[in-house]
Amino acid sequence: MRFGVSSIIAFRTGIRDALIFAQNHEFDHVNIFVSEPHFSLSSSERDLRNLSKFIRDIGLEISLKAPSFVQNLSSLDDNIGKLATRHYEQVIDIANILDANAVIIRAGMLFYPERKHLEKTLQITLDRLGYILEKAESSSVKLLIENYPYSFDLVRSFRDMLWIQRHLDKIHFALNIPHLLESRQNENVIEDINLIKIDNFIIGPPPSPYHVPYDVKGLNRVIELYHRISKSKNSDIILASIRRDLVQQLRKMISEGK
């Protein structure tokens, strides 16, 4: 088990500050949150190569968390689908320059039109995911899907993950523990968890590590659920919070088995 940290720890101060924090506190890995103005998809190649050298010099591994606010691979509107696909392609291109080992994406969202035409929607989603997977593989970047807690999300539960895995075997997952807890989809954890290819556990305060406000009192429930479902996994951990003291607290709680 290795510890990583999300770059949202330095959302206001920038990527390099997050990398220095990770180095100073002996983290192995930084997951870069791709969001303006924290990190720009339009960064020049020169800036990206300078950043890549900085990352190599301090000896950290990185991955990228792709934008997922409006990008929707499941949209029946082809313009939106193409936009989402292009966004994820750009993130993979950046991952290639930065020598990142993985890109984490959101699988898709199902709104009224998509639910009314569910069979067509699911096939379109698989086609787009398959295309992005091929792009990632050609760049030697692993593609990971993150679960979200909202009722319109395509991937909320282990059952959703297993469905995608059956169709696209080479896709793996970044399991967000607070999201799983918030979605209330964790009843079947024991019987399904061993079947799912989980590369990373994302751990932070509920209801979502990326949101404010958050529930500090809910940290114990997050850690308890993590320990329930991680016994058979040797997956890496990404700690995510804008508060540095919480990140340190979470690391201690996990290490001590509390």
**In the chain, domain spans:** 3-255
Find the mean pLDDT for residues 27-50.
94
The CA distance from 233 to 243, in Å, is: 27
pTM: 0.95
Report the CATH number of the 3-255 domain.
Answer: 3.20.20.150
Confidence of residue 211 (pLDDT cuts 50, 70, 90): confident
- Which residue type, as a one-letter code, is found at position 180? L
Quickly tell me which residue has 């804008």 as its tokens. Answer: 242
Confidence of residue 69 (pLDDT cuts 50, 70, 90): confident
> What is the pLDDT at residue 190?
57
250: tokens are 């979470």
CB atoms closer than 10 angstroms to residue 237 = 23
The CA distance from 133 to 141, in Å, is: 9
Element (H, E) at 17: helix 15-24
The CA distance from 38 to 188, in Å, is: 37
